[in-house]
Amino acid sequence: MAGHNRRWMLLLPAIALVVVCLLGCRAPSRGDAAYTGDFALPTPAARSAKSMPAFPPFTVGAWPSNSSPSTSDSIIIYVICRIQNATASMASTPAAGVQVQVRIAYPINHSYIGTTQQDGVARVAVAFSNAKPGLPVLVDVMTTWQGTRYQSQTSFTPAPLSSPSRTFGGGSSHPRHRHKPKATPTPSPAPPANITPTPNATPQPTATP
């Protein structure tokens, strides 16, 4: 009996160690429904987040009064200048009294100067002659505001529906289609008129003596 009790005394510590190991393996994880721990979700700091890019403090735009004039014509190039808040917290305002430069590119190659009025718009009259039909003309617009240079671009096309002219014998003209005269058929010779043959006279019988 004493030997039996001694064996149980030796087995009890081993059984207790096994139970402790099993309980340790069954410790609740964050995926268990019974887990009541707090989840830490990091959020970016407000100062570190990228904000909306600031608006440019000054803008310039341009457009022609007629985008398809004739080859010899006069148009107006409108140039609009606006001052705006970088945070877009208020509406933009017209920039009055700003000097603008309008440069007409090839084949006109001419520059003009204008000044914006109270509405922030400069109206620059442009005249040209003998422009190439169907060839777009670029218009560069430039101005300086508070030491910074701003520019924009527009264009117009003289006589866009006209095809480029071709030169014949030193002159400029459109080719003319020459129609060849139709050949008049030569009439066939008329057949000779039917001639009615004259019957021969029948000789009279000679009397027998």
Q: Is 155 helix (H, G, I), strand (E, B) or coil?
A: strand
Mean pLDDT of 5-26: 62
What is the CATH number for 141? 2.60.40.10
Position 43 in a domain: no
Range of the domain at 146: 58-154
And the tokens for 142?
A: 């430039």
Residue 167 contacts residue 77 (beta carbons within 8 Å) = no
Position 142 in a domain: yes
Q: In angstroms, what CA-CA distances link 89 with 52, 80, 92, 145, 200?
A: 13, 21, 9, 21, 131
- The backbone torsions φ and ψ at residue 67, rounded to the nearest 5 degrees and listed phi first, read -85, -10
Is residue 170 pLDDT above 50, yes or no? no
Cα–Cα distance between 55 and 95 in angstroms, integer?
16
And the tokens for 103?
A: 């440069």
Domain count, the chain: 1
Position 92 in a domain: yes
Q: Of 14-23, 55-64, 104-113, 156-165, where does mean pLDDT reach its minimum?
A: 14-23
- Quick check: pTM over 0.75? no
Q: Of 28-32, 47-51, 114-118, 148-152, where does mean pLDDT reach its minimum?
A: 28-32
Mean pLDDT of 191-206: 52
- Cβ atoms within 10 Å of 120's Cβ, excluding its own: 20
Position 162 in a domain: no
pLDDT in the model for residue 89: 80
